[in-house]
Structure 1
């Protein structure tokens, strides 16, 4: 397949150009003297709907969705066929199936590998989980994560996969902590046996929420946990893992917000699941789990409710970065779940002006902030698919028909994420980028980030024009390592009318349409061809 390639420009190998730019152009400098965090992965998840369609839809249709999510191929015009995710989170169900589950929406119900008699059904249950895990193997997705919103219903206080009393404590019965630990180990060991191991399993999810609901009207699975309850579960699971020889690591704490990681929520009942960095990784904490072999050295947090304003975007991430650097354990940050949730996701942008492209830009801005301010090493979106809500998509990359027809369409959110995930690959290192504007100003106008593959000599830059006006950007590159042979450059752009469309990049001045995202890939020719064909 032929890739649309443009001849090398001098700025791409380290010379400063752009003297012919308009006076109002923004100057951006990529400085190889600033080598920052390594990138582990960029991904998404099944959410709840992805698990459902893998169980209920015609497989050929779901295969098309998988191709949109995972493919790194280009079509005959040089346009990406998919967004090339490098990680994927898959739901492991608690058994909330049928009307007796208490969950109102059928597509939010789950099955469970565990039977009521304590035996396991590996073939008839978990069909959605296994489908997606096999797809990850087919497409070479290295980072695979299984996540649970609730323990199996056979172990819960009320027999449901959600809470019916607001206690902010786990729905797991005290006598079943060991059973839940064994369940986690059995699931991990099964996938290990069949050659499809999960790299990580998240045993708890957003423990700060009450997850209170009414049977028959419940929205989804979920349970709160206190920090001490989480620590107890992790210690038991670590022991079972060792006994069974399980290689899968535990990913925690999947906090509902960044503030829950770094602040004590005094006066709130969910305080028992706050200040989680200190709780789990401070050796003086009674809930310290940093010494457990099964627990990864990754802080998993969700970026929800950190987007209410530009100031909030900056503050929450700076606070989190400071707290991680102050922690005695050597930790890295993964942002493991985000969507345009809540009432204030649009920050300073009036909500009635948020169209699909604006929603995509809001997503891109959070990705940019998490990489450049919080210095996250991974970034993962919430739900890959959901039924069409007949409004601007905020929660899913792909929306499906609600009339019973097994059909779907890609949203602008998919392509906005793809401007990163398709090109910023695992093992790349973020390179420092400076601008004439302040961080707060950049978040409202032009944002720029850069990533480098040392082995291939490939430089990837992602530019976001958040504004309603066209913008020229002078790109300057300092200190890029020399490479032998010719260098090629390719550009890809998402706008209201384009989806990762190939664009010509032939000078150091990038002309950005209003409300646009452009990814520029500069590679030695041979390396570029190798990457595109993988």
Structure 2
């Protein structure tokens, strides 16, 4: 979809996409989608989610339940009717804990489910039996074909923090520079220990999470950093990785909002991270360090509503990143937070299609406007009454029930079919009355995939125009209130996109332009 078409959609949807307020009947019942498979954009790296926080417990649940949950998240197999068994995540994020679990109530983190174990003992030794539930999910992901793994830390281990806690005091960094090397050494040992324990290698290490926030309320593990502190820590980690021949790439800096990548923001010394970290000549330049991924990562929180503003911010982000040759953007964490300008509220679970449609619109905008090459959800498993889970679980440490959401399957419309190495190609809704479809398209070799989001109350007939190319469309996969990647067939160049649905169409390019 072109940016102009996306903006039209945004203006329409500001008042229409809120929960219970679908786009009015009678609008655009038939449209043409123009595809240009020769016009390419970013290459997709992965779609992902994380094991925080419930993975530490659910990974120890009875086999039948945890295996089913792993199938939902990672499987690339199909059911008998051709519908996918799971959403085929292509990267799994592992929370390398700071040790608040071992501290118990003395940690100051009130909710046991938001504490995290560490492998490091107080005597300097390591216990590789810790984080066993999370290790189980690592193995389950690899068994089902996941081959990208990322280890992230929300805080340095409590043995290295300034206050001995896994959260900070007064919004100040919680690790002194003379402990940077110790933290780096811990990461080296953890990478090696996990590989030995699980046979999983971390492709990426993300040592910093949302450095703009204070992390001083004891709600979870966390540590703030200024840009100069980020750069100092990354230099130590890069040096240690280089010395110890660690192949994991360092991902920075998981900004709490995309605006901190290209604006000064409201936190002194914590904004303009693209230029600060990746433009030569900056005092905080780390883009040329060994092991540092040529990728800038941020979270889409607080910038998704209204959609017109969302589009504007993502266009500015894409323009800023384009100024640094070869730099990629990863949207590395998102769930539905806050009230989003009245469009949708993060409170209360929503297992149905309303939250899924909102999520799909965020994914689309991050991919088609911000040119994100990776899109990563926050908590794969949630025990809370909040829109933060793909799969919801009972808050029970040893057993319980689980409940899949339509958000899981809407993400699957992308993750299951847009595989690593796919390249986004031009897709534009070109004709019809005021249209409200969100369309993105991707090719990998001869395979072609379209993802179409229809948030309106009416079905839409689409005609696919591939110009001089020759494309054979074959299958469709529907997520709606009553379907979860339900498989269907498509012949010719026309198809019906049901009301309030996300549809993936797959095919093959027989002849390029």
TM-superposed CA distance for 1:437, in Å, is 7.2
Q: How does 1:156-195 map to 2 (within 5 A)?
A: 156-163=161-168, 165-167=169-171, 169-193=172-196, 195=199
Are 2:350 and 2:387, in contact at CA under 8 Å, matched by a contact in 1?
A: no
Distance 1:228 1:203 in 2: 15
> Is the partner of 1:500 in helix, strand or coil?
strand
Aligned CA-pair RMSD: 2.4
TM-superposed CA distance for 1:428, in Å, is 1.2
Distance 2:346 2:248 in 1: 44
Are 1:207 and 1:255, in contact at CA under 8 Å, matched by a contact in 2?
A: yes
**Structure-2 residue corresponding to 1:115:** 121
Q: Give unmatched runs, 5+ long, in structure 2.
A: 1-26
**Structure-2 residue corresponding to 1:279:** 276
> Is the partner of 1:319 in helix, strand or coil?
helix
Residues 1:406 and 2:403 are matched in the alignment:
no
Q: How does 1:472-487 map to 2 (within 5 A)?
A: 472-480=461-469
Moved over 4 A (4+): 348-355
Q: TM-score, normalised by structure 1?
A: 0.85
> Is the partner of 1:79 in helix, strand or coil?
coil
TM-superposed CA distance for 1:350, in Å, is 12
Are 2:44 and 2:423, in contact at CA under 8 Å, matched by a contact in 1?
A: yes
Are 1:307 and 1:345, in contact at CA under 8 Å, matched by a contact in 2?
A: no
**Structure-1 residue corresponding to 2:482:** 497
Distance 2:108 2:29 in 1: 59
Q: Aligned to 1:361, which of 337, 357, 361?
A: 357
Are 1:52 and 1:108, in contact at CA under 8 Å, matched by a contact in 2?
A: no
**Structure-2 residue corresponding to 1:416:** 410
Residues 1:81 and 2:69 are matched in the alignment:
no
Question: C-alpha offsets along residues 439-495 of structure 1, whole Å, 9 cap, x if unaligned?
Answer: xx76xx2111111121xx21111111011222222221124367xxxx561111011
Q: How does 1:47-446 map to 2 (within 5 A)?
A: 47-54=52-59, 56-97=60-101, 98-122=104-128, 124-163=129-168, 165-167=169-171, 169-193=172-196, 195-213=199-217, 218-265=218-265, 268=266, 270-327=267-324, 329-344=325-340, 347=343, 356-389=352-385, 394-402=387-395, 405-436=399-430, 445-446=436-437
Question: C-alpha offsets along residues 227-283 of structure 1, whole Å, 9 cap, x if unaligned?
Answer: 111111111111111111111111111111110111112xx4x22221111110111
Question: C-alpha offsets along residues 415-438 of structure 1, whole Å, 9 cap, x if unaligned?
Answer: 000011111111111110112379
> Is the partner of 1:499 in helix, strand or coil?
strand
Distance 1:350 1:89 in 2: 22
Are 1:339 and 1:395, in contact at CA under 8 Å, matched by a contact in 2?
A: yes
Distance 2:54 2:98 in 1: 15
Are 1:310 and 1:347, in contact at CA under 8 Å, matched by a contact in 2?
A: no
TM-superposed CA distance for 1:173, in Å, is 3.0
Residues 1:35 and 2:40 are matched in the alignment:
yes
Distance 2:462 2:348 in 1: 29
Question: C-alpha offsets along residues 163-183 of structure 1, whole Å, 9 cap, x if unaligned?
Answer: 2x323x311133312111111
Q: Aligned to 2:453, which of 438, 454, 464?
A: 464
